[in-house]
Structure 1
Amino acid sequence: MIGVLGLGSIGLRHARNALSLGERVVGFDPSPERRALLEAEGGRIALSRDAALTASRAVVIASPSDRHEDDLAAAIAAGRHALVEKPLGHRIGRLPDLLEQADKAGLVIAAALNMRMHPCVQLTRAALADGALGRVLWGRFLAALYLPDWRPGQDFRQGYANDPKTGGAIFDYIHEFDLATHLLGSFRPLACVATRTGTLGLASEDMADAILEHANGVTSTIHVDYVTRPRLRGFHLAGTGGQIHVDLDQRHFRHVGNDGNVRVDVTMNGAYADDYRAEMAAFLASTKGAPPVCGGAEALAVLEGVIQARTLAGLPS
């Protein structure tokens, strides 16, 4: 039995994926309406967090990010493996101690950073490992989407995105910071600026730019925003041996050699929904001994860098 704490859109997605993979699911959310949505999908409902934890062998934490720390503590105390939705939290707090407790107890703590499952990201990792770019020189990561288009029919001003302390574009697009880490190595932010354009009337930042320095000397830039139409999402890497261009939305990978000749030009099958399902399959496998795709320690390091970037931008903690 897989428990799901928090039955908003992402929690229900995780629940549906677990059900599709043959798992039974039990979920808790304070909202009766959301609990009913899980029941309609074929899941079982619990009337409290503790009841959901008691009934499950592993849990997905998809509650609001300001609840992640407490929910993770409860999961670890109950002896449950956990997949924590991004971000791992909105502060460092007790997270290092909790991850240490989980490690001592032999529990898997993984972060739901599903972009690692994207086939173009995996193709890029393989190309870098093969030395296709020679010495990597720089990277650029871009996530520019229009927030009102994300969940039509819902008031985006009522969600986590509009919370200046726990939401906003930087926390929401932690995927891009994780991709920079996943492809180029650990980083420290050198600079970050964040803006409220006023376009959407948000209290949180709706646009930000960061410059990162990676441990291997590579620099990268990250642009994230809630205000761009049509949407853009992808990355560009350059090295002494050429360049890699990836359009994440179109699932398109292009490798150009330093002579200008195209080495690889391919569009991969599938959609983001497939990546989420693969993420759930990978988490289930990790509870049976496979290595997690993004373990808690990795996710914590990314969170630390993101919090530093927010501090540089003058955002509240």
Structure 2
Amino acid sequence: MITPSLVTSRPLRIGIAGCGAISRNHLEAFRALTDAVIVGVCDIDLQRAQETAQAWGIPAAVTTVQELLGLGLDIISVCTPHPTHEDVVLQAAAAGVHVLCEKPISTELASAERMLKACDDAGVKLGVLFQRRFWPAAQRIRAAIDDGTLGRPIMGQCSVMLHRESEYYSRDACRGTWAGDGGGVLMTQAIHYIDLLQWFMGDVAELYGKINTYKHGANIEVEDSATAVITFTSGAMATLEASTAVSPSLGVQIRVTGESGASASLTEFPEGSDGRVDLWAVDGAISTEPAYPEGTDPNVSLTAINGQLIPHHTAQVRDFVHSLRNGGEPAVTGQDATKALRILLAVYESSRTGLPVRFDRLPESTRSLAQVAG
């Protein structure tokens, strides 16, 4: 088993599992570190793995996770499709290799819990990519909650109103399916902001939600729109709205009001840009920035979105490496990531039943995704 004490004086050996679009962010992030070296990539498509390895100057290209782990890794970065995360993580844990996994941690709660247990039993760290926590704006709001500037949060709002063309779904047979993605806008886009909302507001006690498909029904079987009303264990309340049926995109806004009466909000517009504090209402004074700067193109390609997030991917990767070298937990643990998954699965369950979901009664093993969708 790899332990932090064994990796304090040499470069860490990194393997990337999955060579799809998001792998670029992981490749760039690890390449930016002076104390890590990418020794191999893995993809079920050998040609894609070989092309990635050649383009990035990586020694090995393989087709199985076991081959990748056999290269003597310290960390495996998981960039495979959502439903395959568990298999990769369990193999890594069995090999004593630390794991940095793309969001969502999994598509089912029971699967996520198996991943957590396997890593805990093996004594390896499990981190999950929620790079927007590393925005300076998000850090500022979290600090204002912690230092009492905002006070204990009592009201929250999360609005994720994004644009996707039909080609976004139709060019990938797995995208927009329950089996391939595990969900729609909630699982693939809004999960980032659900994570931020619960990071600001705290643990959830109860949730009532609805999902629907308004625009992309010809191309997807999952939801393109969702809403929820959330009550937290603290007694705080929040609303959530999310959609990929918006044209033009309105981006993302998250607002928090504390018990002091002070409020702060951040906006990500256009999608992929750094979140910025656009409202700071503290001590009776209000400062604002335009949520929608004039002349900004609202609809941004997926390639551009991912590219603009690379600095924050890098910050989270650096934090994960620091946790291995110096002990302690990474900024976003597998347990943290499971909270966001639990929230969005509860929206699906509530929409299916028409009833609120109490988190102390949420089934440990969720229904099949097809049943949830129905």
With normalisation by structure 1, the TM-score equals 0.89
> How far apart are 1:309 and its partner, in Å?
1.5
Deviations 1:40-63, CA, capped at 9 Å, x for gaps? 022232232111112111111111
Answer yes or no: is 1:16 the counterpart of 2:28: yes
> How far apart are 1:213 and its partner, in Å?
1.1
> How far apart are 1:292 and its partner, in Å?
0.7
Contact 1:16 1:41 in 2 (8 A): no
User: In the alignment, residue 78 of structure 1 is paired with which amino acid?
Assistant: A
Deviations 1:220-279, CA, capped at 9 Å, x for gaps? 1111111221331121112333210211335321311363x1268799xx9532111111
**Closer, same or farther in 2 for the Cα pair 1:38/1:216, shift >3 Å?**
farther
Answer yes or no: is 1:312 the counterpart of 2:337: no
User: In the alignment, residue 135 of structure 2 is paired with which amino acid?
Assistant: H
Answer yes or no: is 1:98 the counterpart of 2:123: no
Answer yes or no: is 1:252 the counterpart of 2:276: yes
Q: Distance in 2 between matches of 1:131 and 1:12?
A: 39
Residue equivalent to 1:45? 61
Q: How does 1:258-297 map to 2 (within 5 A)?
A: 259=284, 261-262=285-286, 271-288=308-325, 289-297=327-335
Q: Distance in 2 between matches of 1:147 and 1:188?
A: 32
User: In the alignment, residue 248 of structure 1 is paired with which amino acid?
Assistant: E
Q: Distance in 1 between matches of 2:200 and 2:242?
A: 18
> How far apart are 1:88 and its partner, in Å?
0.7
> How far apart are 1:107 and its partner, in Å?
0.7
Which of the numbers 44, 48, 54 marks the counterpart of 2:70? 54
User: In the alignment, residue 53 of structure 1 is paired with which amino acid?
Assistant: L
> How far apart are 1:155 and its partner, in Å?
5.3
Segments of structure 2 that go 5 or more residues without pairing to the other structure are 1-12, 292-306, 353-368
| Partner SS for 1:116 | helix
Q: Distance in 1 between matches of 2:206 and 2:184?
A: 18
Residue equivalent to 1:209? 227
Deviations 1:266-316, CA, capped at 9 Å, x for gaps? 99xx95321111111112212222421111112223322221221112273
Which of the numbers 184, 192, 196 marks the counterpart of 2:209? 192
> How far apart are 1:157 and its partner, in Å?
4.9
**Closer, same or farther in 2 for the Cα pair 1:219/1:38, shift >3 Å?**
farther
Which of the numbers 238, 247, 268 marks the counterpart of 2:257? 238
Residue equivalent to 2:337? 299
Q: CA-atom RMSD, angstroms?
A: 2.5
Greater alpha carbon shift after TM alignment, 96-105 vs 44-53: 96-105
Higher relative strand content: 1
**Closer, same or farther in 2 for the Cα pair 1:271/1:28, shift >3 Å?**
closer
Residue equivalent to 2:44? 30
> How far apart are 1:158 and its partner, in Å?
1.6
**Closer, same or farther in 2 for the Cα pair 1:135/1:293, shift >3 Å?**
closer
**Closer, same or farther in 2 for the Cα pair 1:161/1:225, shift >3 Å?**
farther
Q: Distance in 2 between matches of 1:275 and 1:2?
A: 19
Deviations 1:181-204, CA, capped at 9 Å, x for gaps? 111111144211111113463221
Which of the numbers 135, 151, 155 marks the counterpart of 1:134? 151
Greater alpha carbon shift after TM alignment, 70-79 vs 291-300: 291-300
> How far apart are 1:98 and its partner, in Å?
3.4
User: In the alignment, residue 10 of structure 1 is paired with which amino acid?
Assistant: I
Greater alpha carbon shift after TM alignment, 242-251 vs 81-90: 242-251
Contact 2:211 2:347 in 1 (8 A): no
Greater alpha carbon shift after TM alignment, 91-100 vs 184-193: 91-100
> How far apart are 1:134 and its partner, in Å?
3.2
Greater alpha carbon shift after TM alignment, 194-203 vs 119-128: 194-203
Q: Distance in 2 between matches of 1:189 and 1:10?
A: 33
User: In the alignment, residue 256 of structure 1 is paired with which amino acid?
Assistant: A
Residue equivalent to 1:178? 195
Q: Distance in 2 between matches of 1:281 and 1:298?
A: 18
Q: Distance in 1 between matches of 2:174 and 2:193?
A: 18
Q: Distance in 1 between matches of 2:149 and 2:15?
A: 42
**Closer, same or farther in 2 for the Cα pair 1:204/1:101, shift >3 Å?**
closer
Greater alpha carbon shift after TM alignment, 158-167 vs 137-146: 158-167
Q: Distance in 2 between matches of 1:160 and 1:117?
A: 30
Q: Distance in 2 between matches of 1:266 and 1:221?
A: 22
Segments of structure 1 that go 5 or more residues without pairing to the other structure are none
Q: Distance in 2 between matches of 1:156 and 1:3?
A: 30
